[in-house]
Amino acid sequence: MQSKIADSLKAKLDPAGYASLLALNNQRLFDFIADAAELCEPAVVWISTDAEKDVDQTRKMALELGEEKPLNIPGHTIHFDGPNDQGRDREVTKYLVPEGQTLSDALNQAPRQEGLDEIRGLLKGSMRGRTMAVRFMTLGPNNSDFSIPCVECTDSFYVSHSLNLLYRLGYEEFKRMGDKAQFFATMHSSGKLDGRRVSAEDEKKRIYIDYSTDTVYSVNTQYGGNTIGLKKLALRLTIRKADREGWLAEHMFLAGIHGKGGRKTYLAGAFPSACGKTSTAMLPGETILGDDIAYFRAVDGKCMAANAESGIFGIIQNVNAKDDPAIWDVLTKPGEVIFSNVLVKDSKPYWLGMGMEPAADGENFVGQWHKGMKDAKGAEIPCAHKNARYSVTLSALKNCDPELNNPAGVPLAGIMYGGRDAKAYVPVQQSFDWVHGIVAYGAALETETTFATLGKEGVPEINLMSIQDFVAISLGKYVKNNIDFGGKLKNPPLVFGVNYFLRDSNGKFTNGMRDKHIWVKWMERRIHGEAGCRVAPTGMIPCFEDLQALFKEVLGKDYTREDYITQFTIRVNENLAKLDRVESFHRQNVQDAPAAVFEVLDAQRSRLKALLADKGDQVSPFDLPKK
């Protein structure tokens, strides 16, 4: 360690912490931590190793500082974010772009030096009188080709505690790598706090990603998606790393789906927030390997996948005993759980859609709350926020997949893309090939904005592969990387499109909440050649008899011809309108869109127009050919 840096850190560290840091032998790491300490001016710098005492210390500090409060079930705590800090904030999350470089116009960005000056000005002195925790974690399994070491400096012990639950401890991984560790870094401060220990200056909230140095800066916010640097913030950096190295970093869950003869087949799925992602990853009777971020590598012609995380920062709305038994079990028994932004009354948490009447008053994200309470605009304040969350480690779940920490990853056999599409796409379909799936289901993923992102809800938009907000390379290059990745594989995963939000002419959802299990089981059988299909212009759809058998087998439910017609009728004009929206998005926002995008869209348009001329606008699935 250089002498100037050493002197700077010695003044803030105790001897044990200094020795622990020195053992990591990485000058860039020393420079980053010293810069954070000098800029933010904490009273103390605390180095956390992988030792159990350090893991315990971060939990204790979160309670001692009042960032979390204990609940009545042992190990459960509650954390509140401010009323205007309840989700990822698109407007103030920006890429810092060096002079001479450009990103897609669809991405929020600022000139690098201008952005650094602004956010470092906001961070200056922000930790005075506080402890800066230095956390070492890894993305992906340790000691693996998937491993990415990460360091976060934060003055929030809620954030530090969340890291314990959501990621793998990484101090020993840094020590193993030494000066070869190419790490991601995050500098975070909650900023000025109010009496509830909540960030008080949300108008000064900023989350900036300096991709040229793999560094994230975050200030005046506590919400996990804005502050836990290894989450979506690091995903932006990982996408650039994957682009350089020839693999994929995806906003996808990973699940093990059981099939005939005791086999288990791994599938991945990309869904925007609040579109069914976690509930699909947590299907009863199956195993969950990850609910949010997955890494894919081509290894000897096979697609191998790993979960970047080891925990769940999940939306709690509508989690209930009937529909989500595995999560419900964890949320209602002793063990380590952090609840955020739910209602608390007499140390008991309540949330929207939990299947029981909430308390009539208590504390929630706005402070003291009572039923019927209204905000400044006259709108009624719900008992809990729609984007209220829970944080748990995956290993606490009974259905956690045993391969979670396998350094080699798991073989991936299928990928699904799903959004909120009320009018066009059927509930499930399989692409004609890899490129068709990547374009027609991934790059064409259409949804509606939800409560997980600040702003107006219910606005239709293209959310390319459910990763658009996080792509730190050009969108066209990102799509091309996905297309090209299939060429590295002997047998690429099959690609499926799903849509749980199709509505009938009366505005009623055509899917039942549990129907998604049928669609996933059909995928598993298609992968193994055990289910037929009918051929639609947009892809291959299930045959009635296969779904009839699956509904009876999986849900114990009768499935009628009328159900099948309602769900799988091809709405030709709605699909043509969808194609127009998708093409318009790519022509306007994806300046370097691959030619394959427009070729796939044109071919799909031709098939739809041919069907329209032959059979009209509303085409029964029984009128489509079997394959």
Q: What is the pLDDT of residue 593?
A: 94
Q: What is the pLDDT of residue 459?
A: 63
Distance CA(70)–CA(541), nearest Å, equals 49
Residue 570 identity (one-letter amino acid)? I
Kindly name the residue from 150, 275, 303, 543 that is annotated as catalytic.
275
Q: What is the pLDDT of residue 612?
A: 98
Residue-level length of the chain:
627
Asked if 275 is an active-site residue, the reply is: yes
pLDDT digit string, tens, across residues 449-478:
655 455 555 567 899 999 988 898 989 999
Question: Chain-wide mean pLDDT for the chain?
Answer: 94
The H-assigned helical ranges of 375-468 are 434-437
Distance CA(324)–CA(106), nearest Å, equals 36
Asked whether 47 and 23 are in contact (CB, 8 A), the reply is no
Classify residue 625 by its DSSP letter. P
Residue the block writes with tokens 């691959």: 594
Asked whether 319 and 354 are in contact (CB, 8 A), the reply is yes
Residue 488: enclosing H or E segment and its boundaries? none
Asked if residue 535 has pLDDT above 60, the reply is yes
pLDDT digit string, tens, across residues 30-56:
999 999 999 999 999 999 999 999 999
Q: What is the pLDDT of residue 1?
A: 67
User: Diameter of the chain by CA atoms?
Assistant: 80
CA-CA distances (angstroms) from residue 6 to 61, 177, 186? 26, 21, 21
Q: Which residues of 153-173 are buried (b: 16+ CB within 10 A; e: fewer)?
A: bbbbbbbbbbbbbbbbbbbbb
Q: Give φ, ψ of 369 to 5 degrees.
A: -130, 150
Distance CA(332)–CA(344), nearest Å, equals 14
Asked whether 73 and 328 are in contact (CB, 8 A), the reply is no
Distance CA(288)–CA(281), nearest Å, equals 6
Asked if residue 530 has pLDDT above 60, the reply is yes
Distance CA(98)–CA(498), nearest Å, equals 39
Classify residue 439 by its DSSP letter. I
Which of 493, 601, 626, 556 lies closest to 284 in space, CA to CA? 556
Report pTM. 0.93
What value does the mean pLDDT take over residues 389-413? 97
Task: Please indicate whether residue 105 or residue 180 has the higher confidence score (pLDDT).
Answer: 180
Helix, strand, coil distribution of the chain in percent, nearest 5: 35, 25, 40
- Topology alike, domains 3-65+89-245 and 313-396: no
Torsion of Cα atoms, 431 then 436 then 441 then 446, to 10°: -140
Asked whether 410 and 482 are in contact (CB, 8 A), the reply is no
pLDDT digit string, tens, across residues 582-601:
999 999 988 789 999 999 99
- Using a 10 angstrom Cβ sphere, with 0-12 exposed, 13-18 middle and 19 or more buried, the burial of residue 466 is buried
Asked if residue 13 has pLDDT above 60, the reply is yes
Distance CA(479)–CA(494), nearest Å, equals 17
Which of 274, 267, 234 lies closest to 253 in space, CA to CA? 267
Distance CA(59)–CA(69), nearest Å, equals 11
Classify residue 427 by its DSSP letter. S
Residue 75 neighbours by CB under 8 Å, 6+ apart: 334, 335, 336, 337
Share of the chain above pLDDT 90, in %: 88
Which of 490, 485, 494, 556 lies closest to 520 in space, CA to CA? 494
What tokens were used for 97?
Answer: 């772009």
Distance CA(38)–CA(41), nearest Å, equals 5
Q: What is the pLDDT of residue 458?
A: 58
Asked if residue 528 has pLDDT above 70, the reply is yes
What CATH class is the domain 3-65+89-245? alpha beta
Domain 313-396: homologous superfamily in CATH = Phosphoenolpyruvate Carboxykinase, domain 2 (2.170.8.10)
Q: What is the pLDDT of residue 449?
A: 62
In this prediction, residue 8 has a pLDDT band, given cuts at 50, 70 and 90, of: confident
Q: What is the pLDDT of residue 589?
A: 87
What CATH class is the domain 249-309+404-623? alpha beta
What tokens were used for 393?
Answer: 């480690």
Half-sphere exposure (Cβ direction) of 229: Cα atoms closer than 13 Å: 31
Give the domain ranges of the chain: 3-65+89-245, 249-309+404-623, 313-396
Which of 439, 619, 415 lies closest to 537 in space, CA to CA? 619
Residue the block writes with tokens 């101090």: 171
Asked if residue 213 has pLDDT above 90, the reply is yes
Q: What is the pLDDT of residue 455?
A: 54
Distance CA(240)–CA(235), nearest Å, equals 9
Q: What is the DSSP string of 356-399?
A: SPPPSEEEETTEEEETT-B-TTSPBPPSS-TT-EEEEEGGGSTT
Asked if residue 6 has pLDDT above 80, the reply is no
Classify residue 349 by its DSSP letter. E
Half-sphere exposure (Cβ direction) of 227: Cα atoms closer than 13 Å: 28
pLDDT digit string, tens, across residues 271-313:
987 788 888 999 989 999 999 999 999 999 999 999 999 999 9
What value does the mean pLDDT take over residues 484-497? 98
Residue 349 identity (one-letter amino acid)? P
User: β-pairing, 534-536 with 410-419?
Assistant: unpaired
Please state which of the ranges 57-71, 93-107, 398-412, 484-498 shows the lowest mean pLDDT: 93-107
Asked whether 586 and 598 are in contact (CB, 8 A), the reply is yes
